Amino acid sequence: MRVVVDFDRCTGLGLCESLAPDFFEVQDDGSLELLRSEVNEAERAELQEAVRSCPTEALRLEG
């Protein structure tokens, strides 16, 4: 399973970073950096919460 970011939709609000800091980091310029894309089963709930919390629906899980 992996997390995918639609960077065109992302506004850099940072909710994903606060919920899954091992995967997301908002840069000083407001852009989002995806630190890791591969998700193991133990991390799935954390990532699902980040995906659900994204106000612009820029995140999704695949696989």
Give the model's pLDDT for residue 56: 97
Give the model's pLDDT for residue 37: 96
Instruction: Give residue-wise pLDDT tens across range 30-57.
Output: 999 999 999 999 999 999 999 999 999 9
> 27: domain CATH number?
3.30.70.20
Taking the whole predicted model, whether its pTM rises above 0.75 is answered as: yes
- What percent of the chain is modeled with pLDDT above 90? 100
Give the model's pLDDT for residue 6: 98
Strands 32-34 and 24-26: what pairing?
Answer: antiparallel
Domain around 53: 2-62
The domain tally of the chain equals: 1
- Nearest of 9, 37, 7 to residue 22 by alpha carbon: 37
